[in-house]
Structure 1
Amino acid sequence: MEEKQELPQGWVWTRIGEIAPTSSGGTPSRSNPSYFTGNIPWIKSGELGDGYVVEYSESISEAALAGSSAKLFPKGTLLIALYGATVGKVGILTMDAATNQAVCGIFLPEWVELKFAFNYLFSLRREFIEQGKGGAQPNISQDIVRNTPFPLPPLPEQRRIVAKLEELFSRLDAGVAAVRRAQALLKRYRQSVLHAAVTGELTRAWREAHPAPAETGAALLARIRGERRAQWEAAQVAKRGGQLPLNDAWKSKYVAPPGPETSGLPELPESWSWATFEEISERVTVGFVGSMKDEYVDEGVPFLRSQNVRENKYSPIGLKYVSPTFDESISKSRLEPGDVVVVRSGSVGTACVIPDTLPAANCSDLVIVKQPKVLPEYCAYYMNSVAKARVNAQKVGVALIHFNTQAQAAMPLSIPPLAEQAEIVAEVERRLTVLDALGQTLADELKRAERLRQSLLHRAFTGRLVPQDATDEPAAALLARLRAGAAVPAKAAKGKRKAKAEPESKQLSIKL
Structure 2
Amino acid sequence: MKAGWDVKKLGELSFVASGGTPLKSTAEFWDGDIPWYSSGELNGEFTIEPKDRITALGLDRSNAKLFPKGSLLVGMYDTAAMKMALLDRDAAFNQAVAGIKPTPRTDLRFVKAALEAIKPSIMEQRRGTRQKNLNLKKIKDIEIPLPPLEEQQRIVAVLDEAFEGLARARAHAEANLQNARELFESYLATAFSGDEAGWDECELNDHVRFIDYRGKTPPKTEVGIRLITAKNVKMGYIQREPEEFILESAYEGWMTRGFPKLGDVLFSTEAPLANVAQLDTEETVVIGQRLITMQADEDVILAEFLKFSLMAPPMQSEIHRRGTGATVVGIKAKLLKTVPLRFPKNLDRQRAIAANCQSAYDDMERLEEAFRGKLQDIDDLRQSLLQKAFAGELT
Asked whether the two chains share a fold, i.e. TM above 0.5, the reply is yes
Show the counterpart of 2:275.
Answer: 350
Post-superposition shift, 1:69?
A: 1.8
When residues 338 and 454 of structure 1 are mapped into structure 2, their CA distance, relative to the original with a 3 A threshold, is same
Show the counterpart of 1:413.
Answer: 341
Asked if residue 275 in structure 1 is aligned to residue 202 in structure 2, the reply is: yes
SS of alignment partner, residue 186 of structure 2: helix
2:231 pairs with one of 298, 307, 314: 307
Post-superposition shift, 1:124?
A: 2.7
Q: Deviation per CA, 1:276-329, whole angstroms, max 9, x where unpaired? A: 221222x22312532323x435123x3211122222222222243323432211
Show the counterpart of 1:136.
Answer: 130
Show the counterpart of 1:23.
Answer: 17
Aligned partners of 1:79, 1:150: CA distance in 2, in Å? 16
When residues 336 and 27 of structure 1 are mapped into structure 2, their CA distance, relative to the original with a 3 A threshold, is same
Contact 1:285 1:369 in 2 (8 A): yes
Show the counterpart of 2:392.
Answer: 463
Contact 1:87 1:128 in 2 (8 A): no
1:438 pairs with one of 355, 359, 367: 367
Asked if residue 121 in structure 1 is aligned to residue 121 in structure 2, the reply is: no
1:169 pairs with one of 163, 170, 177: 163
Post-superposition shift, 1:107?
A: 1.4
Post-superposition shift, 1:353?
A: 1.7
Post-superposition shift, 1:362?
A: 2.4
Q: Deviation per CA, 1:422-444, whole angstroms, max 9, x where unpaired? A: 11112112222121111101111
Contact 2:224 2:248 in 1 (8 A): no
When residues 37 and 144 of structure 1 are mapped into structure 2, their CA distance, relative to the original with a 3 A threshold, is same
Contact 1:340 1:369 in 2 (8 A): yes
Aligned partners of 1:369, 1:405: CA distance in 2, in Å? 11
Contact 2:31 2:52 in 1 (8 A): no
Aligned partners of 1:358, 1:321: CA distance in 2, in Å? 16
Asked if residue 322 in structure 1 is aligned to residue 246 in structure 2, the reply is: yes
When residues 142 and 194 of structure 1 are mapped into structure 2, their CA distance, relative to the original with a 3 A threshold, is same
Query: How high is the TM-score relative to the length of structure 2?
Result: 0.94
Asked if residue 360 in structure 1 is aligned to residue 360 in structure 2, the reply is: no
Query: How high is the TM-score relative to the length of structure 1?
Result: 0.73
If you compute each CA radius of gyration, which structure gives the higher value, 1 or 2? 1
Post-superposition shift, 1:398?
A: 4.5
Aligned residue pairs total: 389
More strand by share: 2
Q: Deviation per CA, 1:20-52, whole angstroms, max 9, x where unpaired? A: 111111111123111003111001111111420
Asked if residue 48 in structure 1 is aligned to residue 42 in structure 2, the reply is: yes
Contact 1:89 1:122 in 2 (8 A): no
- Quick check: 432-441 or 320-329, which moved more? 320-329
Show the counterpart of 1:250.
Answer: none
Show the counterpart of 1:426.
Answer: 355
One-letter amino acid matched to 2:256 = S
Aligned partners of 1:279, 1:426: CA distance in 2, in Å? 24
Asked if residue 448 in structure 1 is aligned to residue 377 in structure 2, the reply is: yes
Show the counterpart of 2:320.
Answer: 392
Show the counterpart of 2:64.
Answer: 70
Q: Deviation per CA, 1:347-368, whole angstroms, max 9, x where unpaired? A: 211112223x225332112122
Show the counterpart of 1:332.
Answer: 257
Structure 2: stretches of 5+ with no match in the other structure: none
One-letter amino acid matched to 2:265 = V
Aligned partners of 1:133, 1:436: CA distance in 2, in Å? 37
Post-superposition shift, 1:392?
A: 0.9
One-letter amino acid matched to 1:291 = T
Post-superposition shift, 1:135?
A: 3.4
Contact 1:82 1:103 in 2 (8 A): yes
Task: Report the aligned-residue RMSD.
Answer: 1.7
One-letter amino acid matched to 1:405 = A
Asked if residue 147 in structure 1 is aligned to residue 75 in structure 2, the reply is: no
Which structure is richer in relative contact order (CA contacts within 8 A, separation 6 or more)? 1
Aligned partners of 2:26, 2:216: CA distance in 1, in Å? 40
Identical amino acids, percent of aligned pairs: 26
Contact 2:35 2:52 in 1 (8 A): yes
Contact 2:223 2:247 in 1 (8 A): no
Asked if residue 289 in structure 1 is aligned to residue 215 in structure 2, the reply is: yes
Q: Deviation per CA, 1:320-347, whole angstroms, max 9, x where unpaired? A: 3323432211231420123212100212
When residues 47 and 109 of structure 1 are mapped into structure 2, their CA distance, relative to the original with a 3 A threshold, is same
One-letter amino acid matched to 1:84 = D
Structure 1: stretches of 5+ with no match in the other structure: 1-6, 201-267, 467-512
Post-superposition shift, 1:399?
A: 5.0
SS of alignment partner, residue 17 of structure 2: strand
Aligned partners of 2:249, 2:14: CA distance in 1, in Å? 62
SS of alignment partner, residue 53 of structure 1: coil
Aligned partners of 2:10, 2:278: CA distance in 1, in Å? 54
SS of alignment partner, residue 266 of structure 2: strand
Contact 2:35 2:90 in 1 (8 A): yes
Show the counterpart of 1:380.
Answer: 307
